């Protein structure tokens, strides 16, 4: 996830929530602590999901856990990644369409392939 940090003050018209009820707990919590939401500086963190990065991280972590348990073997050859399971199933990955080789993405894609997981189009 990408994070954006904004510093300022909270106003009803400054940050648009899905519903007004979403902001009510925040405003109630500030009021309960005696914080003036209009004049007190705050930091707002906005997290934007990144499906590609999240997918790569998930499958890379799974591959690393499997490699730690000796369930798979990972080999690299130039710009290709090969994964072999203990059952002798083999999968590979390599950059396509002029993409730059990325170590984590290569492992994630090869491991997802060997686990018969479909590779999303955004990868």
pTM of the model: 0.65
Hey, where are the domains in the chain?
2-48, 51-114
Q: Alpha-carbon Rg of the chain, whole angstroms?
A: 22
Among residues 61, 88, 56, the alpha carbon closest in space to that of 72 is found at 88
Burial of residue 45 (number of CB atoms within 10 Å: 0-12, 13-18, 19+): exposed
Higher per-residue pLDDT: 11 or 110: 110
pLDDT in tens, 55-89: 999 999 999 999 999 999 999 998 999 999 998 89
Higher per-residue pLDDT: 34 or 92: 92
Instruction: Count other Cβ atoms within 10 Å, centred on residue 110.
Output: 26
């Amino acid at each position: 996830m990408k994070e954006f940090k904004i510093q300022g003050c909270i106003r009803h018209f400054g940050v648009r929530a899905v519903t007004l009820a979403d902001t009510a707990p925040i405003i109630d919590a500030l009021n309960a602590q005696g914080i003036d939401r209009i004049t007190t500086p705050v930091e707002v963190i906005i997290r934007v999901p990144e499906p590609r990065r999240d997918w790569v991280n998930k499958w890379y972590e799974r591959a690393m856990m499997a490699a730690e348990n000796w369930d798979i073997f990972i080999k690299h050859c130039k710009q290709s990644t090969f994964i072999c399971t203990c059952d002798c199933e083999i999968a590979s990955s390599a950059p396509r369409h002029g993409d730059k080789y990325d170590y984590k993405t290569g492992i994630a894609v090869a491991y997802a392939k060997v686990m018969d997981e479909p590779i999303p189009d955004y990868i």
